[in-house]
Structures are given as C-alpha cells and as structure tokens.
Structure 1
C-alpha cells in the first residue's frame, strides 16, 4: 500500500468509527433485511397495511431468500404492494440518514397507497389504449359527406428550444383545402404540446366557417381528455380552452388515430423547426407533403 494511502487510512481509522447499527432503532446491525423487515418501524408499517405475515417474521433467510419466498406465495397485487412498501421504507431510511428528515409510518403508507393507485390507473390506461388502438384507423380515411377533417400534430425540439405545430384540412372527397404550421419558441411536455396544437388549430379553423369538423390526433390522452376534462394540470387547462372553442362549431369531434393515419400533419409539425413564425398554404399543398397526400388518397 502506498505510504500516502496507508497514512490516510490509518489516520481516518483512528479518528472516526462507522456506526453499523440501524439508523432508526439503533438495535441491530443495519442491512437490507433489517431496514425492510426487522426494524421496529418497518414492522409497524407491515402490520398497519395488513401484512402481518411479513411483520411476524414469517419469511426468513437473506434478503434474496425472502423475496423469492414472497414471489412464490403472493398474488401479483400483493407483490405490487410489497414492492412499493419496500421502496418507501428504503427511501425513508435514506432521507433520515442523509437529510435527517423523519417520515411517520402513516406518511410511508399514504405515499405507498398513492403510488399503488397511480400504478393501477396506468395499467388500466394501458389496457384501454391497447383496446382502442386495435380499433383505431391505421390509414387516413375520408370524413362523412358535409364534414371536413383536420389532422393535427405537434413536435417538440428540445435542441432548438421550440415546438412545431402542424395542421391540414381536407374535404369529404379527400381533397386538400388548407395547411398550416407554426414554430413556437417554447419547449413543452409532449401531451401539452399536442393540446396546444389542437387549441391553435381550433382558433385557426373557426375563421373559415366550417360547421362540421373532425379534428384528428395521434395523442390518445388528448382525445380522451376532450370528452371529460378531469384534472388541474397545465395540460387540463389547455384542454379546457379547447373545449371553450367548440362553441364556434355546430358539430365537432376529436378522434384518435395511429401515427400512420396522421402522416401529413406530422410532416408539417416536423418541418416547422426550420421555419419561423406561421406559414399557411391554400389550395396548393407545399411540395414536402405532396407525396404523403397522394399516399393518403390511394
């Protein structure tokens, strides 16, 4: 061992001793099993959530052995609950050790319950998305007679510090009417960008007097939110603004489609980052979307 390292090691070992006891109960040496299962605090949490078999030491061995036993006997829902409790117990331990922030057993439980509810909600949303996606159009389709279809999309360019918005209007014969794109000098979260694209497009289209309009997006969260706005986030406030604009139309629909059925709007949004401000095309489409329009019409 080099002299400087040995000297440093020797001086450190003389001046400080590392306390290996549990940082909360100060009874046993701290390891993963102690933190998650054997500490008095952990036992209180397991008991309060109704998992007395964990609290009573019903599982033994190393931490890996315990998890193997749990996986072999617990239902998926119970395993999800156990995983979240373990995560919150470990997170609480770190907050106490490093920041001296103490969280009660109720705080650990409430955090775990909220996380479990969010996880279950996300699983349901995935199932709904899968069911809806299997039914959603994968190719552009003409609207019913008397209607116009407006495809919209947004693209976020973090490297350029901007967001592109694209919209295209076609009639019930599939004919091109108008297109528009806009470079917004701000970076948004993807679903916020999609909501802003819809709001900008609603404001644009209402000036032309179309009474029956289908607005098409490949953002399912946006299409769903337009049916029932529930939430207080920035995204939901934008959607509320979109719904306020519906009053300018006799009939308006917001539909979800696959990206492949929204290719023209996607191309317009992607092109916006190399432009400035707003660009609009009437009757004659720009060359960079001509091929995509032809493919949609086949």
Structure 2
C-alpha cells in the first residue's frame, strides 16, 4: 500500500508544473500555521488572511527563483514617498517615556474610505529617543503588513522628521536610529507599492491612543474588523 501511494504521489508531482506545486505547498503551509495558531495561541484568523499570506509567500518564492512573468517584472516594486498609490492606509504612532526609554507602538489599518480594517499595539525595544521610537513603530507596522499579506499601502505618520528621513536618498547614519531607518527602508522595498505621508497629529489620534494604551500592557494585542472599545467612538 505504501509503494502504491508513493507511485501515485510521484505521478502527481509529474502532472503539475513547479509553479502549481509550490502554490499548493504555500497554501497547505499557511493552513497548518493557522491550525497551530488556533490550537496553541487561541487565535482564529479569517480565511482571507490565510489566502493573502499564502499568495504573498508564493510571490516571494517566484521573485527569488526568477519565475515571474516578464510583464510583471517590468513593473518592479517602487517606494513612492508622498504619493497615495495604495488601497489601504496604515496609521502608526509611538509613545515614548523619556526617563526609562520605554516605548510603545499603535497601528491602525483602514480602507481608503475610512472604514476600520484592523489594529495592533505593543511595547517596543528600549529606545534612546522619540525619533527611534517612531522609527521602530514604522518597522512594526511594515512587518505587520507583510505578515498580513498587504503589498500595497499608504503609511501615515505625524513624525515629519521620519518622513523626510525615509524619503531621503542619503545613506543611513551610523547609529541606533540609522539601524531602525535602514530596516524600514528594506521592508518598504519588499512591498509592491508603499508610500509615506505626514499628517497632523490630530489626524493620528487612533494610533496614538493605541500606543499610549500599550504602555500599560504586558503583551501586544491585535483587533480584526472591530476596533477596541476605547477607540471605537473615535472611528469614523
């Protein structure tokens, strides 16, 4: 029986091309990850999230092995700073406590029309100043977006200095701040379309409220579809 199954599986591999087989593996792998998340972390994701992350993994594999169609390669991912090219807006902000260097982040993902999509907050590594905290918050937002399979987005921040630094073509300065900025640039370059614009602090109250709340939390928290109660009244 084992030999029969092996022969069947071998014939199956021959019947599908490499792209189709890899797509199947990506889907099964992310279903398995979702199963582990449900069993061990008591977190049940949405089906579209599993699909989106599987597609993102498959796209990353095609880029790595050079199997993408030529017409797709012609439109290589670019980072257009200040241009709203994405369908989703990701607001991020950092909270910073100067005496002990403690920092926290707040992230809010919304549709272009303003509808709430998802949110997350949590603590940051020790920070040497507000700019470093903002840079780490940006890094957290980009990592979160990649995990969700979001490949087109507009980042929104009230930190003008960070926006200018990320838009500059100058090499990163050699400091802890520079390491964080470099990580942000690397993550932005992996997205299909990523822009960053500066907004007034009054327009970033959701992310700011989440960052402030994270300072009193032991662990990071995430919300899907429905915002947390303490910011629900602020959501349009």
- Where relative contact order (Cα < 8 A, 6+ residues apart) is larger, the structure is 2
Structure 1 residue 204 corresponds to structure 2 residue 144: yes
C-alpha distance in 2, partners of 1:172/1:221? 24
Partner of 1:264: 206
Q: Residues of 2 paired with 1:199 and 1:227: CA distance?
A: 15
Which among 268, 279, 282 is matched to residue 224 of structure 2?
282
Deviation (angstroms), 1:273: 0.9
Query: Aligned with 2:174: secondary structure?
Result: coil
Query: Is 1:254–2:196 an aligned residue pair?
Result: yes
SS in 2 for 1:277: coil
Instruction: Determine which of 102, 117, 126 is the counterpart of 1:162.
Output: 102
Indicate the structure with greater helix content: 1
Higher percent of residues as strand:
2
Give secondary structure in 2 for the equivalent of 1:181: strand
Name the Cα RMSD after superposition. Answer: 1.8
Task: State the alpha-carbon separation in 2 of the partners of residues 200 and 185 from structure 1.
Answer: 11
- Give the distance between the partners of 2:124 and 2:116, measured in 1 at CA: 25
- Measured in 2, the distance between the counterparts of 1:160 and 1:277 equals 18
User: What corresponds to 2:184 in structure 1?
Assistant: 242
| Residues 58-92 of structure 1: per-residue CA shift (max 9 Å, x gap) | xxxxxxxxxxxxxxxxxxxxxxxxxxxxxxxxxxx
Whole-Å separation in 1 of the counterparts to 2:197 and 2:232? 24
Q: How many angstroms apart in 1 are the aligned matches of 2:132 and 2:178? A: 9
Q: Is the 8 A contact 2:106 2:120 kept in 1?
A: yes
Determine whether 1:232 maps to 2:180.
no
Q: Distance in 2 between matches of 1:251 and 1:187?
A: 29
* Secondary structure class of the residue paired with 1:262: helix
Shift of residue 157 of structure 1?
2.1
- Displacement of 1:161 in angstroms is 5.3
Equivalent residue pairs, number? 151
How many angstroms does 1:249 deviate by? Answer: 1.2
Q: C-alpha deviations, 1:187-226, integer Å up to 9, x for none?
A: 4300000000000110011122222201111111110111
The structural deviation recorded for 1:185 is: 5.4
Match of 1:150 in 2: 90
User: How far apart, CA to CA, are the structure 1 residues paired with 2:102 and 2:125?
Assistant: 4
The reply to whether residue 194 of structure 1 matches residue 134 of structure 2 is yes
* Structure 1 residue 159, shift from structure 2 partner: 5.3
Aligned residue in 1 for 2:121: 181
Q: TM-score, normalised by structure 1?
A: 0.48
- For the residues of structure 2 that align with 1:186 and 1:246, how far apart are their CA atoms? 23
Q: Which runs of 5+ in 2 are unaligned?
A: 1-83
Q: CA deviation at 1:160?
A: 6.4
Q: Give the conservation status (yes or no) of the 8 Å contact 1:160–1:273.
A: no
User: CA-to-partner distance for each residue in 1:248-294, whole Å, 9 max, x for gaps?
Assistant: 3110001111101111000000101111121001111001111221x
Q: TM-score, normalised by structure 2?
A: 0.60
